[in-house]
Structures are given as C-alpha cells and as structure tokens.
Structure 1
Amino acid sequence: MQSIQANSYPIHFNEKAYEALNLHINENKYSNLFIIVDSNTNEFCLPHFLPFLETDLTIEIIEFEAGEVNKNIETCVQVWNVLTELGADRKTLIINLGGGVVTDLGGFVASTFKRGVDFIHIPTTLLSMVDASVGGKNGVDLGNLKNQIGVINVPTMVLIDTQYLETVPQNEMRSGLAEMLKHGLIYDKEYWEQFLDLKALDFADFDQLIYRSVEIKNEIVTQDPTEKNIRKALNFGHTLGHAIESYFLENEDKTTLLHGEAIAAGMILESYISMSKELINENEYSEIKSSLKSIYEDILFDENDIEPILDLLIHDKKNEYGNIQFALIEGIGKIKINQSVENELILNAFADYKS
C-alpha cells in the first residue's frame, strides 16, 4: 500500500514500514533508542517487532502496566525518570509500540522530555491504527477526565503493520471499528455503507478499509491541524461518549468501558440529537441506531447515572466560553460543527437510547 503523507510526517504500511524505519534510523545518527511498551505489547508485539530492527544503537525497553487507568502524569514521571537514569538525551529516538494508551502517553513523554525528542508511533490495535496514531495529539488523563493534559506534536513517522491485529481480542477490534464507522458517518457515506452488513464484509479486504479510515482522518487533520475548525468533526460521538467513558471509569460499581463501546453509544445519542435538530431524517437515524446496536451491546444507564454524566460535559475540550459544543452529522457523510444543544434534548436522547 502506498504511504500516506500527513502534516510533515509519513504514514507507512506493512512491508514498507520497516524499510522506512531502518533507513530513517541509519540516516539520522541517533545516540540511542528507547522502545515504550505496556505489559501487553511487551509480551505479544515486541517479539514480532525486534527482528525487523536493523541498528547498532543501544536499545532500552521501558514498560508500564497496561490499561487506561495508567494513562496519567504519574506514569509519565516514572518514564521520564527511567529515560534520565539510562542516559537519554536530545538525540534519543523513542518508539511507541502499542495501542492508544501507549502512543498517547509515549508521544507526550517524548514531546516534553528535554523539550522534545524524536518519536515514532507503531500502533498495535485497530483503534490506535485508525485514530490515536494520526494527527499529532499526545497526552494523558487528569483523574477520570480524558486527555485533559497534552500537546499537539507530530511524530517523525507512523508505521502501521496490520499483523499486530492477530494479537488483538475481538472486543478490542470492535472498539476500533467504532472509529472507522465514525469516519464514514462524518465524511464518506459510501465507506459507511460498506459496514452495514458485517457478515457480508470480506475481511480479506480489511487492510484496505483501515487504509481508507487513516486516509479520511488524515484528510481532515491536514486541513486543520490545531482543531480550530473542521477537525472538530472527528469529535462526533465523543462529546457524550467521553463523558460516559469517564463516568464508568471513575465508578467502582460500573464495568469500565472500552473507548469504542462508549463512542458507539455517543454516536447513537448524538445522531438522535442530529435528527431532533432536523439535520438527518428519521430513516437515517434508524439506520445508524440499528447498525450500531447490532455490533455493540447496550450500555445500561440507571436514572442516577445521567446527571453526573451531564456534569462531566463541562470538561469537554471543545467547549468555548463555558458553552458545550457538539459536532453533529448533517446527513450521513457530512458534519456540522459548533452546535449548541440544550439539556432537554440530551435527556431525550438517553431516553430514546434505552427504548
């Protein structure tokens, strides 16, 4: 597959990826190389990756415990300390090998260590391939609040090797699929329609579906790298989805949701709001709702859950001057950003989701 040129960095695929990586390392005279992994990718992905690496540089592995709960500033401090103790300097290269938690945190660590060192993302989950690895967003959570601390800083390159997906559980694959479905809903109706009958989908062509998803995100981000305008389209389903994800993360009596599970619910809720504002028609909403509910189990909301979820909306990064801003779809394949939504409409959306 042909490489995709993002804003000042390339995204390489499969067999071309490692050739590009080794050429880059050999040309740039790095002092040493650090690979950041979590406990899962250390076990399942690092053994696949290391044989492709052709370098005489000293290689150090930094591992932290897997899970969103560890995507915080405390983990960053531990990684910064290890980098310091092991002699990392301004000419160090950091490779982030893992899912969205690793690429988000590793990119933030690299962007801030000694005011910034080169880093490369090698996403190993479907979600990180089609979402977290593209666009230069790096950061960590603040308590239960998603991605509150971070920077926009692009990697030197991104390498996507779909063989890593063989190690990914089915629920994690579904989580990544949510972002692919979102890309169709906000940008490409034809792409969305390819997923309407998953049983008929030829997964031999899944590499091409991933490629198109990366392409869509890159096309949007290239127009608006710092999220002042059209990049906000990528937040469809995330305003409510992130609030739901954060609420379930902070409550011990709730089962923690995968990102895509929360975003799928967010897309149903925000599609209902789009219909209520006459941006999509009832048939379009019905298609979206039935399609997503056929893939993702319903999230069970108690009456006492809704108000604290709404309270979390105020922390959404798209908010301006204290107003909650939604990105809503205007027909399948189109988006309308900076939409204010009253609480009553959100409550109606939750009521409809449960019906």
Structure 2
Amino acid sequence: MTPITTQDYSIQFNSDCYSALSNYIQNNTFSNIFILVDSNTSDLCLPKLLAQLNTELTIEVIEIEAGEQHKTIETCLGVWETLSELGADRKSLMLNLGGGVVTDLGGFVACTYQRGIKFINIPTTLLSMVDASIGGKNGVDLGAIKNQIGIIKTPNMVLVDTDYLSTLSSREMRSGLAEMLKHGLIHNELYYSKLSRLSNLTLEDLDQLIYDSILIKKDIVEQDPTEQNLRKSLNFGHTLGHAIESFYLNHKSKALLHGEAIAIGMILETYLSNKLLDFPEDKMQLIKENTIKVYGKIDIPEADYLPIIELMKFDKKNIKGNINFVLLNSIGDPKINQTTTNDLIIKSFKFYSN
C-alpha cells in the first residue's frame, strides 16, 4: 500500500513498515531505542518487531500492565523513572508497540520526558490503527475520566502492520470497528455501507477499509489539528460513549471496551440527531439495528442514567458548563457544538434499551 504522508509525518503499511523504520533510524543520530509494550504485546508482538529491527543501537524494553485502568499518571511516573535509570537522553527514540493505551500513554511520556524525545507509534489493535495512533493526541486518564491529561503532538512515524491483528480476539476487533463505523457516519455514507456488510468482507477488503479510515481521519485532522472546529466531529458517539465507558470502568462485571461504549454512544447520539436535527428516522433505526447486530445490547438500568449523564460534565468539548455534542444532519454531515436536555438524553437511553 502507498504510504500516507501527512503534514508532519508518514504512515507506512505492512511490508514497507520495517524498511522505512530502518531508514529512519539510519538517517538520524539516535543514542538508543526504547520500546514500550504492555503485558500482551510483550508476548504476542514484540518478537516480530525485534526480528525486524536492523540496528546496532542498544534496545531496551519497558513493559506496563495492559488495560485502560493502567492509563494513568502513576504508570507514566514508572516509565519516566525507568527511562532515566536506563540512561535515556534527548537523542533517544521511543517505539510504542501496542493498542490505544500504549500509544496514548507512550506518546505522552515521550513528549514530556526531557521536554520531548522522538517517538514512533506501532499500533497492534484495529482501534489504534485507525484512531488512537493517528493525529497526535497523547495522554492519560484522570481517575475514571477519560483522557483529561495530555498534549497534542504528532508522532515521527506510524507503522501499520495488519499482521498484528491476528493476535486479537473477535471482541477487540469489534471494538476497533466502532471507530471505523464512526468515520463512515461523519464522512461518507458509501464507506459506512461497506462496513455494514461485514459478512461479505475479505482480509484484503479489511486492509483497504483500514487504509480508507486512516485517510478520513488524516484529512480531518490536517484541516483542524488542535480541535477548534472540524476535528470535533471525530467525537461523534464519544460524549455519551466516554461517559458510559468511564462509569462502567470500575464495574468489573460490566466493564466495556472503548469501541463497545462508543457503539452505544453512536446509537444514543443518532437518536438525539433525529430529535434535534431531523436526522432521518429510517436511517436512525438502521444504524441501531446494524450496531446491535455487531455489538449486542447491554443492560443499562435506569438508575445508571443520571450518574452517566453527570460524568459528561468532564467532556473536553464542553464550553462554559454546556455539554456539547456532535450530532448528524445526515450521514456524512456532522454538526458540532450541539446541546440538549437531560430528559432527551434519558429518552435516548430508553430508545437504545427498547
């Protein structure tokens, strides 16, 4: 696949990834290399990367615990201390090998260690390939509140090797698919339709859809890198989805993956779009049916509605205390900075549950 060149960095694919990485290392004067992994990618993905790394530089591996609950400042502190103990300096290179937690946290650590060292994201999950590793958002959670601490700084390169997807469970693959479905809903109805026909997709189709999804995000980010206007559209489904994810993060029996929570958020926010912007009712029903077909339906008791709504006050899109949503005029036509009432949000939960 042809590399995607952004304003600041390149995104390399599959067989071209490792030659591009070798060239990058050879053409820069790095002192050493640090690879950040989690307890999953250490076993499942690191051996392949190490076999492909053609360098005489010292390579150190730093491992963190897997899971959103470890995407914290405390984890960063451990990584910063380890970097210091192992002699990392401003000429060190950091490779973030993992899913969204590793690329988000690893990017934040790299951007802040000695005021910034170069880093490359090597996403190993579908979610991180099409979303987390692209666009320069780096950061960690503050308690149960998602991504409250962070910085926008693009990586120096992204390597997308879809062979790593073979290490994922079907649940993790579905989680990543949610962000791709979102890209279709905010940008391109034809793309959304292709993704909705999952049973007909081949592995080759998936590679192309991943490529197309990255292009959609890349184009939006380049027009609005610091999320003042258009980039906010990438948060469709996330205002409610992040609140749902945060609320259930500490409920081990009902903890949701990011994409699972966003899938619910997209159904709820499509309902709000119908009520507030006249989004077509037939398409609202179709999105609900398509989404539940893939993700099933979880039980959200009415007692949870208000605590979830309360968490939305921490959403980063909020202005002067107003909870701002991204809603849809139609598929491919998002509208940012929309507000609504708690009563209508509660009705959206009931629409999802019934």
**TM category, shorter:** over 0.9
Q: CA deviation at 1:83?
A: 0.3
Rounded Cα–Cα distance in structure 2 between residues aligned with 1:7 and 1:345? 41
Amino acid at match of 1:340: T
| Residue 230 of structure 2 is aligned to residue 230 of structure 1 | yes
| Residue 96 of structure 2 is aligned to residue 104 of structure 1 | no
Gaps in structure 2 of 5+ consecutive residues: none
Amino acid at match of 2:8: S
State the secondary structure of the residue aligned to 2:277.
coil
Rounded Cα–Cα distance in structure 2 between residues aligned with 1:328 and 1:303? 23
Rounded Cα–Cα distance in structure 2 between residues aligned with 1:153 and 1:278? 34
Matched with 2:75 is 75
What aligned pairs does 1:137-286 form with structure 2 within 5 A after superposition? 137-252=137-252, 254-286=253-285
State the secondary structure of the residue aligned to 2:279.
coil
Q: CA deviation at 1:297?
A: 1.6
Rounded Cα–Cα distance in structure 2 between residues aligned with 1:196 and 1:126? 16
Rounded Cα–Cα distance in structure 1 between residues aligned with 2:204 and 2:114? 44
Residues 127 and 179 in structure 2, CA contact (< 8 A), matched pair in contact too? yes
Rounded Cα–Cα distance in structure 1 between residues aligned with 2:208 and 2:131? 15
1:292-323 Cα deviation digits (max 9, x unpaired): 01000212111210010000000001001111
Count of aligned pairs: 354
1:194-223 Cα deviation digits (max 9, x unpaired): 022221223332100000000000010000
Gaps in structure 1 of 5+ consecutive residues: none
Q: CA deviation at 1:14?
A: 0.7
1:218-270 Cα deviation digits (max 9, x unpaired): 01000000000000000000000000000001335x42100000000000000
Rounded Cα–Cα distance in structure 1 between residues aligned with 2:7 and 2:107? 16
State the secondary structure of the residue aligned to 1:329.
strand
What aligned pairs does 1:282-321 form with structure 2 within 5 A after superposition? 282-321=281-320
Q: CA deviation at 1:278?
A: 3.2
1:120-175 Cα deviation digits (max 9, x unpaired): 00000000000001100000000110000000011100000000000011000000
Q: CA deviation at 1:7?
A: 3.0
Matched with 1:4 is 4
Rounded Cα–Cα distance in structure 2 between residues aligned with 1:279 and 1:136? 34
Rounded Cα–Cα distance in structure 2 between residues aligned with 1:207 and 1:352? 34
| Residue 333 of structure 2 is aligned to residue 326 of structure 1 | no
Q: CA deviation at 1:94?
A: 0.3
> Structure 1 length normalisation: TM-score?
0.98
> Structure 2 length normalisation: TM-score?
0.99
Amino acid at match of 1:34: F
State the secondary structure of the residue aligned to 1:194.
helix
- TM superposition outliers: structure 1 runs of 4+ over 3 Å: none
| Residue 319 of structure 2 is aligned to residue 335 of structure 1 | no
1:101-138 Cα deviation digits (max 9, x unpaired): 00000000000000000000000000000000110000
Rounded Cα–Cα distance in structure 2 between residues aligned with 1:139 and 1:346? 28
Q: CA deviation at 1:285?
A: 0.3
